[in-house]
Amino acid sequence: MLLLVPLVYLIVSLGLIQGQSLGAEAGARHIARALSTAENADAARQSADRILRSVVEEYALDPDSVGVALECHPNGGACPEAGATLVVTIRTSVALPLVPPVLGLDRLASIPVEASAVQKVSRFWEGK
């Protein structure tokens, strides 16, 4: 019985971390794909917002802790642009279960999760 409680806590914690990391990875992959295949900037923005809301809801991510970063290679100009390589990174954090919010322990007992996806932007993409 002495080892059962920590083992159950470990299993629950790892399950939460795995679920959040799968959500971050799915979000990064789908947003990168949507941005790289969109016809223009407005369609790309709308698709990315819709996908992010869907992923946050589906994987029960905390909307306040989810951050999305876009980066284009080669650098310079607008991002995304035709022919560029797009890198989408999603960052979030997982709060460990049963940690009380006393003295900021809930912030200290959170695990950061980050996922990135790389996609080549179509040559026919229109930035305007």
Please report whether residue 85 resides in a domain.
yes
Q: Token pair of 4, please?
A: 């059962």
Q: What is the number of domains present in the chain?
A: 1
Res 128: pLDDT: 56
For the segment 53-64, the average pLDDT, to the nearest whole number, is 91
Any domain includes 108 = yes
- Asked, for residue 13, whether it belongs to a domain, the answer is yes
> For the residues 16-35, what does the mean pLDDT come to?
94
Domain span at 83: 4-120
The structure tokens listed for 29 are 């992959």
According to DSSP, the residues that pair with 91 across neighbouring strands are: 67, 114
Flag whether 51 is in a domain. Answer: yes
Q: What's the pLDDT at 77?
A: 65
What letter does residue 104 receive in the DSSP assignment? G
127 domain-assigned: no
Q: Is residue 128 situated within a structural domain?
A: no
**Predicted confidence (pLDDT) per residue in 103-128, tens digit:** 877 778 889 999 999 998 877 777 65
- Would the pLDDT of 76 be above 70? no
Answer yes or no: is 81 within a domain: yes
Average pLDDT in the 52-57 region? 94
Looking at residue 2, what is its pLDDT? 83
Q: Is 126 domain-assigned?
A: no
pTM (two decimals): 0.84
Which residue's structure tokens are 């049963």? 98
Chain centre distance of CA 101: 25
- Specify the higher pLDDT residue, 50 or 72: 50
